[in-house]
Amino acid sequence: MVPILRFLILSFFLYSCNENKIGVIHWSTSFHHLPKEIRYSDSLSDHTAWMLRYFDVTWKNNQAIPTAVASLPKNLPLQSAAVFIQRQVLEKTPKSQLPQLSNQIVSLIQQMEIGHQKSKEILLDFDWGKGTKENYFELIQHMKAKLQNKKISATIRLSQFANPRVYGVPPTDHGLLMMYQTGSLNQPEKPLLWEKGEVQRYLKQTNYPIPLDVAIPAFSWSIIQRKVAIKNRKNISIVFPSYLQEIQANKNFKQIKTNEFLCIQPHFFHGFFLLPNDRVRCEKVSENDLKWAMKEAKSIAKTDGIVYLYLIEEASNGHYPADWFR
């Protein structure tokens, strides 16, 4: 019995060590429902990692300025802090001013962490391309030099993950693969949030040059489409979350497909003034697809990575039971 018992204990220990850590991303810079979200995160695992969005960097009045600065809560098990950078910032900031931009970002991070639990890493959320890659990668180098006590991470879109030779690899300690938004705003008739076949196509190769955490889509949204005068083009806006049940009960909409509705009367809808013939499509990832995404994410993140649920604000409202992800 003793050898068998030792074997079982060893097997349990190895299994526990090989389990990916699970995390949650809180993207809002307000924390109105934090107690509920903490209860949800505690139901996911004993040591759920948190990622908070600290602030955005946007381009206004011909300069980069911080906006949407969070008022941080205390005593969360904070793993990572995200800084979102608007594309215009690195399109319009001259290379000579990148050290100054780095100083401004680092200074605000340090100010925010006075009296709060300090994050172990800073995640830079920026969708780089050919025109911004050089400036972005140099900004990362400047920030790494100033934040030597923290890891630096970068968001990796699916297209960037699948084509590192084309897009380049950010000079960070690791990355966060965003396993969602498989569609394009230029193709408004196709699913934008999630299409399993598209995800599979991007994941054909899984050996990315830097270690990865992975974020999977535990959220929904409503896409508002309005025809404009330009041929074959539409204006698109996105509303979080999808509000599917509310739309189904609203007499100002006519259902034309399973999750698609036509506006038949002008009215306000969560801050948007809708006109007749505007279309609203509600998108959400199915339970089976989310479980598949969780399995794939664990494989990509390997044993050292974290699989994050994006975003906890909606996941904790009952639409995404915790046992889907355990």
User: Residue 17: its pLDDT value, please?
Assistant: 44
Give me the architecture of the 16-218+286-324 domain, per CATH.
Alpha-Beta Barrel (3.20)
Q: What is the mean pLDDT of residues 85-110?
A: 97
Other beta carbons within 10 Å of 320? 22
Share of the chain above pLDDT 70, in %: 93
Residue 180 φ/ψ, nearest 5 degrees: -165, -175
pLDDT surpasses 70 at 238: yes
Exposure string for 65-98, b = 16+ CB within 10 A, e = fewer: ebeeebebeeebebbbbbbbbbbebbeebeeeeb
Total residues found in the chain within this entry: 326
| Spans of all domains in the chain | 16-218+286-324, 226-279
**Alpha-carbon span 282 to 259, nearest angstrom:** 5
User: Residue 171: its pLDDT value, please?
Assistant: 98
Choose among 73, 39, 53, 67: nearest CA to 310. 53
User: Residue 125: its pLDDT value, please?
Assistant: 98
What does the H/E/C string look like for 273-284?
Answer: EECCCCEEEEEE
User: What's the whole-model pTM score?
Assistant: 0.90
**Alpha-carbon span 302 to 321, nearest angstrom:** 24
pLDDT surpasses 70 at 187: yes
pLDDT digits (tens, 9 = 90+) for 209-225: 999 999 999 999 999 99
Share of the chain above pLDDT 90, in %: 81
User: Residue 225: its pLDDT value, please?
Assistant: 93
pLDDT surpasses 80 at 6: no
Q: Is residue 52 within a helix (H) or strand (E), and if so which, with residue range?
A: strand 49-60
**Alpha-carbon span 107 to 178, nearest angstrom:** 27
Helix (H, G, I), strand (E, B) or coil at 238: strand
Instruction: Name the strands in the sheet holding 253-257, side by side, starting at the edge strand that comes first in the sequence.
Output: 234-239, 220-227, 279-284, 260-263, 253-257
Q: What is the mean pLDDT of residues 46-71?
A: 95
Contact 253, 266 (CB under 8 A): no
By CB atoms closer than 10 A (0-12, 13-18, 19+), residue 313 is buried
Choose among 18, 16, 22: nearest CA to 41. 22
* Full DSSP string of 134-203: HHHHHHHHHHHHH-TTSEEEEEE-HHHHH-HHHH---SSSEEEEE----S-TT-TTS-SS--HHHHHHHT
Choose among 245, 244, 249, 280: nearest CA to 262. 280
Q: What is the mean pLDDT of the chain?
A: 91
Choose among 132, 222, 209, 145: nearest CA to 177. 209
pLDDT surpasses 60 at 9: no
**Alpha-carbon span 216 to 310, nearest angstrom:** 6
